Amino acid sequence: MQRMGMVIGVRPEKIDEYKRLHAAVWPDVLEQIHNSNIRNFTIFLREPENLLFGCWEYHGNDFDADMAAMARDPRTREWWTHTDPCQSPLASRAEGEQWSMMEEVFHTD
């Protein structure tokens, strides 16, 4: 298992919409997340900086393949047409990233 964290901006005028969307995530999207070996996925909001922090546990063996499968899923792609306009990717993100991945520097149970 690998813990992963990521960050992205959220447009201030879209915060309520983003919260509304995530209060009722489509079952097909939740199933795809599970099928992509992601567990314990949480998104936190930090205001007034308007940052979203996401973290999850990855339980698979091939992260790139699992993320590619998610990106091919038609229902997830449709979901992203609703969530992506709410987000404001960081200028410092790596090429091809929507959310900027973070380095884990500490963990305790």
Can you read off the two tokens belonging to residue 14? Answer: 């879209």
As a whole number of angstroms, the distance between CA 87 and CA 97 comes to: 12
Q: Which residues contact 17 (CB under 8 A, 6 or more apart)?
A: 86
Give pLDDT tens digits for 22-43: 999 999 999 999 999 999 999 9
pLDDT of 90 reads 96
As a whole number of angstroms, the distance between CA 75 and CA 12 comes to: 26
The model scores a pTM over 0.85: yes
Band (pLDDT 50/70/90 cuts) for residue 109 is confident
pLDDT of 21 reads 98
